[in-house]
Amino acid sequence: MIVKIFRVVKCPSCFLFQVTGASKSLKCLRCNKTKVISSLKIFYKSGLAKECQLALSELKKKEFENKEENHDDFFSYNTKSSNSKNNIDKNVDLASQDDIDDLFNL
């Protein structure tokens, strides 16, 4: 009897995590590119597809949490930081409050 091994892999082209029961090649569900399984990083493997599905859901959850953390960092970026290599304030002339008031009074 042949035992089927299921694997959780990540497509290197579109970065989609997916479960496969294939042993030689994988056709990605998102980008339809074919990859050789031996060249892919295997994140989890088991003889039970259900275990791989649970591992897949955990990986996707962690990936989502990491994206959320990076998203928060993006919006909390301080443009007035003196440690920044590209200090935006050097190249921007800010309007004074009087200039803004004059524009509204036109």
Compute the distance between CA of residue 73 and CA of residue 105 in angstroms, rounded to an integer: 38
- Given a contact cutoff of 8 angstroms between Cβ atoms, the answer to whether 52 and 9 are in contact is no
Q: Which of 106, 103, 102, 10 is nearest to 55 (CA)?
A: 10
Q: Which long-range contacts (CB under 8 A, 24 or more apart) does 60-69 make?
A: 60/17, 63/17
Domain extents for the chain?
1-57
Helix count and strand count (H, E) for the chain:
2, 5
**Average pLDDT for residues 52-62, to the nearest whole number?**
94
pLDDT of residue 71: 63
**Average pLDDT for residues 71-81, to the nearest whole number?**
53
